């Protein structure tokens, strides 16, 4: 099991300055990382924004991958996947931009509260275990890069171009855009299935590590 930290994430201590944080950049790094491993086709798993990255790796370099696991991939849907598409930036972007502004101004916990509550519902941040909060805190400055990143939305053609066996994993209690994106992609990725983790939300592997691992191991062994 190989768990890399992407550019600018912990253990790096990035200050949020510069244009070196983007989906395109991280996708090219993951591709180069897998090439450097030189292990032949690997299984690739990504969570949230990492799921977006893994999706793009699978699109660009199917030759590097055996199987793909996407745990609530992050991103937006274009008109080909979303009948309610209205264009413009993600509805979440304004909230994330407010979060990044607080972090840049030195209010790290305040910024993270906005970020977490946007994804998981109002009042979530104070209830998070301290160890989970600290992990987010150690990476808070990456949010400043993230809101500058203008990532393209997913399209139907993108989904149809994923050729390897793909497992989507959903937390049964996740609300909002993430389940919508997951279901839209899963409907159009040809060799895909979807597993649901009961009683879990977006960080479903932290909340239900045994169930999550079972689901992934079953898929990789099938």
Report the residue number, 86 or 131, with the smaller CB distance to another protein.
131
- Site membership for another protein, residue 129 (CB under 8 A): yes
Q: Which class for 161: exposed (0-12), middle (13-18), buried (19 or more C-beta within 10 A)?
A: middle
- Site membership for another protein, residue 206 (CB under 8 A): yes
In the chain, the largest separation of any two C-alpha atoms, in whole Å, equals 49
- Site membership for another protein, residue 137 (CB under 8 A): yes
Q: Which pairing describes strands 192-197 and 42-47: parallel, antiparallel, or unpaired?
A: unpaired
In angstroms, the CA 206 to CA 212 distance is 9
Positions in 17-46 near another protein (CB under 8 A): none
Six-digit token string for 22 = 């983007």
- Site membership for another protein, residue 209 (CB under 8 A): yes
Minimum distance from CB of 203 to another protein (Å)? 9
Which of 138, 149, 163, 194 binds another protein (CB under 8 A)? It is 138
In angstroms, the CA 79 to CA 59 distance is 19
Which of 9, 10, 60, 196 binds another protein (CB under 8 A)? It is 10
E-strand stretches of the chain: 42-47, 65-71, 166-171, 192-197
DSSP code of 20?
Answer: -
In angstroms, the CA 140 to CA 67 distance is 31
- Site membership for another protein, residue 106 (CB under 8 A): no
Report the residue number, 137 or 173, with the smaller CB distance to another protein.
137
Minimum distance from CB of 141 to another protein (Å)? 12
- Site membership for another protein, residue 207 (CB under 8 A): yes
Point out which residues bind another protein (CB under 8 A).
Answer: 10-11, 13, 129-132, 134-135, 137-138, 206-210
């Amino acid at each position: 099991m190989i768990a890399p930290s992407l550019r600018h994430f912990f253990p790096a201590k990035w200050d949020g300055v510069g244009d070196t944080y983007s989906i395109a950049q991280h996708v090219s790094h993951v591709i180069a990382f897998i090439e450097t491993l030189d292990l032949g086709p690997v299984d690739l798993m990504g969570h949230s924004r990492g799921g977006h990255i893994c999706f793009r790796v699978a699109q660009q370099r199917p030759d590097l991958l055996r199987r793909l696991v996407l745990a609530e991939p992050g991103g937006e849907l274009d008109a080909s996947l979303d009948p309610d598409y209205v264009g413009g930036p993600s509805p979440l972007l304004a909230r994330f931009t407010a979060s990044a502004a607080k972090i840049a101004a030195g209010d790290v916990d305040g910024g993270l509260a906005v970020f977490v509550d946007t994804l998981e519902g109002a009042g979530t941040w104070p209830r998070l275990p301290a160890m989970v909060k600290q992990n987010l805190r150690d990476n808070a400055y990456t949010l400043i890069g993230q809101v500058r990143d203008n990532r393209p939305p997913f399209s139907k053609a993108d989904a149809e171009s994923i050729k390897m066996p793909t497992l989507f994993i959903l937390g049964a209690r996740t609300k909002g855009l993430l389940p919508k994106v997951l279901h839209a992609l899963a409907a159009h990725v040809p060799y895909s299935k979807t597993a649901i983790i009961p009683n879990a939300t977006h960080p479903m592997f932290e909340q239900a590590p045994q169930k999550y691992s079972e689901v992934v191991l079953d898929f990789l062994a099938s």
